[in-house]
Amino acid sequence: MVKIQTQNFNYSKEVENFSKKNFSSGAISSFLGKVKQNSENGTVSSIDIENYMEMTKYQLKIIINDIKKKYFIDDYLIIHRFGKINVGDNIVLILVASKHRKDSLGATEDIINWLKIKATFWKKENTDKGEFWLDQKPEDSLHE
């Protein structure tokens, strides 16, 4: 399941619900992305995330189809927020259930990397030194 939303989410509750739903899976991996306070642009107060919803949904379908071809997964949950998000708040949650840890860990890592590269989310940092649109970083590349 994919959720693109403005409202925050409760990490513990999402993990608990996902775990109950996937009680027969042998592994569940998670990634939680949060707004960090310090960046190369200064002290961050918030970020603004914009997206083109229809294109984002389309790209996420492609990402998930690729993941399902590469890994044996039982289930997944992606929650990605947009709008103004304050320091320390949640941005993205990825949960992947599978029979084995190798598939759940690999799928989780690939999903976050693909989200940073292929999905149409644009991030602007609001810092003590001004506003800065963020570019893709070399470490966000795919490990295929």
pLDDT of residue 33: 97
pTM: 0.91
Profile the chain (144 residues) by mean pLDDT over runs of 10 residues. 96 98 98 95 95 90 95 98 97 98 97 88 92 74 53
Domain chopping of the chain, boundaries? 2-134
32 and 92 Cβ atoms separated by less than 8 Å: yes
> In sequence order, what are the residues at sequence separation of 6 or more whose Cβ sits closer than 8 angstroms to the Cβ of residue 136?
116, 117
Tokens at 20, concatenated: 């109950």
State whether the Cα torsion 33-38-83-140 is positive or negative: negative
Q: Spell out the CATH class of 2-134.
A: alpha beta
